[in-house]
Amino acid sequence: MPELPEVEYTARQLRTSIVGATISQVHVFWERTVGHPNLATFLLEVSERRIEGVRRRGKFLLLDLSGGLFLSIHRRMTGNFLLLPPGWRIDTSLRTDDIATWNTRGPIFLLENGIENSYSRSTAYCRICFDLSDGRRLLFTDPRKFGRIELWSAEREAEALRGLGPEPFGSDFTVEYLVGELARRRVGIKQALLDQTLVAGVGNIYADEALFSASIHPQRRSDSLTPAEVRLLHDGIISVLTLGIEHGGTSFNDYRDLWGEAGDNYNHVHVYKQAGKPCLRCGTLIERIVIAQRSAHFCPGCQKLTVL
């Protein structure tokens, strides 16, 4: 699932590419991708809106529209955005010719000469297409169909994004805040970091990397951490998220950026998906365990389980 760095990197690309553009039309190819409001209202309200800003909140991508509305996008496991230049058309013939393939793949995007090219592969599994008035198309692709796009009024933003904790780069995410919150939690620290009410945007990848940075075992009880350890963890969270953004996010499966390119941060991780490889810090082999049905990767040499 795209986490804060992947969403932030895409937000920055969108901010420099589509702010100021007008959405002339919206094509919805998988209705359940629209989570709020109903489809008819969504189509009516989004069309002819100007994109006035692009933001991020946790793992949510937010597009501010004219008229006091905004789109909230949660990409879930496999959702990506792809921006097509002018000159592409939509072929929906599969909807009538091969409904099974249509339900899986969605439409086919072709250059005006009718020829697919290598870029065409990135357009597969399109669930929603936003036509921009300058001829470009913004595609939301999602092979597993878990992603959701919702339309809200600005005054209902708190409702749309309820349950999110502070931003890791925000002024309210302090060491003191983290010390207090972890002291009240009687769960493993890896589970705590995945709780979006504690800190917004951290997921499996960056929780593993932050714990490694702080030399904390993922099964340590949250309330067992000392203030000094929490300070190291706080610094580790900010550090690994910053690094992830700088390297364009972590692509080990489906995540791609606005141009269909993979992020480079997988080449810079220390423990995530590195089981069986030697730790770059001490040489001990990285291990993988399962905690609350989620994988956790750590170095048993650097991250010793000293307190439960």
pLDDT tens per residue across span 127-159: 999 999 999 999 999 999 999 999 999 999 999
- How many beta carbons lie within 10 A of that of residue 254, not counting itself? 18
3-state secondary structure of 226: coil
- Same domain, yes or no, for 152 and 17? yes
Structure tokens at 45: 């309200």
Distance from C-alpha of 95 to C-alpha of 82, rounded to nearest angstrom: 22
- Same domain, yes or no, for 19 and 60? yes
Q: Report if residue 169 sits inside a domain.
A: no
Residue 87 pLDDT exceeds 80 = yes
Quote the pLDDT of residue 258: 82
Select from 125, 160, 195 the last residue of a domain: 160
- How many beta carbons lie within 10 A of that of residue 110, not counting itself? 17
Q: What is the mean pLDDT of residues 188-214?
A: 96
User: What are 208-255's pLDDT values in tens digits?
Assistant: 999 999 999 999 999 999 999 999 999 999 999 999 999 888 766 666
Q: Report if residue 305 sits inside a domain.
A: no
Name the residues annotated as catalytic. Answer: 2-3, 59, 294
Select from 135, 160, 185 the last residue of a domain: 160
- How many beta carbons lie within 10 A of that of residue 306, not counting itself? 9
Domain extent, residue 285, equals 175-298
User: What are 244-268's pLDDT values in tens digits?
Assistant: 999 888 766 666 778 777 777 778 8
Q: What is the DSSP letter of 138?
A: E
- Same domain, yes or no, for 135 and 181? no
Quote the pLDDT of residue 247: 87
User: What are 44-58's pLDDT values in tens digits?
Assistant: 999 999 999 999 999
Q: What is the CATH number of the domain that holds 235?
A: 1.10.8.50
User: What are 32-41's pLDDT values in tens digits?
Assistant: 999 999 999 9
pLDDT band at 115 (very low <50, low <70, confident <90, very high): low
Q: What is the mean pLDDT of residues 71-95?
A: 93
Give how far Cα 234 sits from Cα of 71, 154, 181, 207, 239, Å.
31, 31, 12, 11, 9
Of 279, 278, 297, the closest CA to residue 287 belongs to 297
pLDDT band at 114 (very low <50, low <70, confident <90, very high): low
Query: What is the domain count for the chain?
Result: 2
pTM listed for this prediction: 0.91
Quote the pLDDT of residue 251: 64
